[in-house]
Amino acid sequence: MKALLFATLALLLSCQVSAQDVSSAAVADVQARPDAFVALRSVIPNLVVELRYLGSNNFLGRPVEGYVGNIVYMSEPAARALKAVQEDLASEGLGLKVFDAYRPQRAVDDFVQWAADSTDIVMKQQYYPSLNKDELFPGGYIAERSGHSRGSTVDLTLVRLADSQEIDMGSPYDFFDPVSWPSDTSITAQQQANRLKLREAMLANGFRPLDTEWWHFTLEGEPYTDVYFDFPVE
């Protein structure tokens, strides 16, 4: 039965089915990119992108498996919702900068393998100074399955439209520490206000936040709820 399910899904995806055709399938590691995934910059041309996992400025300190090209994908409904966020912020002279969106399952697997290697702590002081690597799973910072692989989750921050510079959020992206929780009050009032501005703009356009990462949001009613894709970012 399991083999039949995978074979059926592969056939559907090869025919470029829509999100509704596969959204209820409890499957993983789908290799094909459906038409319902779009490049974010094709929807939001003035979007600022810094794809951290394509290079070495990330908590692994090296490029991550599955990231080949400087392009960011999301499901089309998520991309359209994100465009609305960008348009709402423009009146205040602000815009969005995306660090990651769709994430291949092979990248998540790379995270898991990295976490299992206790000797590799080259980026500890920059990204998780108060934690040991074996605390990253219990703390919810790394998981064997990520909503990013479903295509409707995004990691992002705010920038000034005038110069594309980030505004101060009180902690950097992917900083694994309670200071990165949206509820943290150890940061300044202005930093808290900046986080709240991002959060309110995302909530107003159908995204839900994560309580441990100020930068992380997922589209409510995402089209793929049980499908974890593994096509490369290229």
Q: Rounded distance, CA 58 to CA 68, Å?
A: 15
The torsion angles phi and psi of 194, rounded to 5 degrees, stand at -65, -45
Give the chain's end-to-end CA distance (angstroms, integer): 33
Q: Rounded distance, CA 10 to CA 27, Å?
A: 11
Q: Rounded distance, CA 186 to CA 125, Å?
A: 20
- CA torsion sign for 118, 122, 185, 89 is negative
Instruction: Output helix, strand, coil percentages for the chain, rounded to the nearest 5.
Output: 35, 20, 45
CB atoms within 10 A of CB 192: 18
Q: Is 213 a catalytic residue?
A: yes
The torsion angles phi and psi of 109, rounded to 5 degrees, stand at -60, -35
Out of 213, 220, 222, 234, the active site residue is 213
Q: Are strands 153-160 and 213-219 parallel, antiparallel or unpaired?
A: antiparallel
Q: Rounded distance, CA 125 to CA 105, Å?
A: 27
User: Is 131 in contact with 139 (CB distance < 8 Å)?
Assistant: yes
Residues catalogued as catalytic: 213
